[in-house]
Amino acid sequence: MHKVIYDTDPGVDDAMALLFLHRHPQIDLLGVTTVFGNAAVETTTRNALFLKREWNILCPVAKGASVTLDPSRQERPWPTFVHGHNGLGDIDLPQAVDLPTDPRPAYQFIIDTVRANPGEVRLVAVGRMTNLALALKQDPEIAGLVKDVVIMGGSFYVPGNVTPVAEANIHGDPEAADVVMTAAWKVVVIGLDVTAITTMSRSYLGDMAKAGGKDVQLLNELSQSYIDFYKHAVDDGMMVHDSCASAYIVAPELFTSIEGAVRVVCGGIADGQTVVKPAGKHFPPGDWDNLPSQIVCTSIQSEKVVDLIRDTILGGAGH
């Protein structure tokens, strides 16, 4: 069993990834931690609690960071044109969900859970890396106790999606991302190089909803405006960014990767750019030296990943 903490900012594609993690028989979901990003943290936390209630997810939800690691960073407007004003495609949602959050802030929940399960916890982080960076700052030793960190973020050999070089999760808190990438734990970076070519069509999701009952119908409903948003890039479908990170947990063989030290540009016109120094390539001394070698995914078997998402979500209803 893979013990997973899911760090997320739901978010439409976050919701699909959550249902995958909840339903996969080899995944033990220990907790959900929320972060600001696709909406304010109050909204993303409400959304996580709503999905927990609707999908009968038993693990705790811990509310996380509401501002960037460097508080002097200017917050940009929420991407309401992508995920809707309420973060879940503007479906009807209650103002509040009558479920408690864990009393601890997300970074403390991460620290405590990792320390209670040394060497076993896999952090799946699909929003800004703020909670992970705060956990490392508070308790640096957890880097040696986490099994690995699988993040959805960054872009390496393809353009970004919020600037020509930056992907949204990293661009939203570059300082936090650089802390996470350079820490002494194993990071697997699943960025736009693989997620932007992994798409699910409206009809494919619709067929899933017909076969999957009310839980998958809810997923289908909250995804519709997100699919509309992607019409500039995808032929009547959506990129399943966050589900790629979830799929990696159980099927890493569907991904091809390189290894090397990763840094994140903080400031300037390349703010939020992720840059890997591939292992074995030699450069003069520089800012990538003496840092942990991380795993950067560069290609993916997209159809197999999308089918795995479908099979897990439809097959795991009794999980």
Active site residues: 241
**Helical segments of the chain, H only:** 12-23, 41-54, 80-83, 106-116, 130-138, 168-171, 174-182, 192-195, 202-229, 241-250, 302-315
Task: Identify any residues that bridge with 188 across adjacent strands, giving them in sequence order.
Answer: 150, 295
Contact 87, 56 (CB under 8 A): no
Three-state DSSP state, 122: strand
Contact 146, 185 (CB under 8 A): yes
Alpha-carbon span 140 to 199, nearest angstrom: 37
**Helical segments of 139-201, H only:** 168-171, 174-182, 192-195
Contact 118, 144 (CB under 8 A): no
Distance of CA 202 to CAs 206, 208, 228, 319, Å?
6, 10, 9, 26
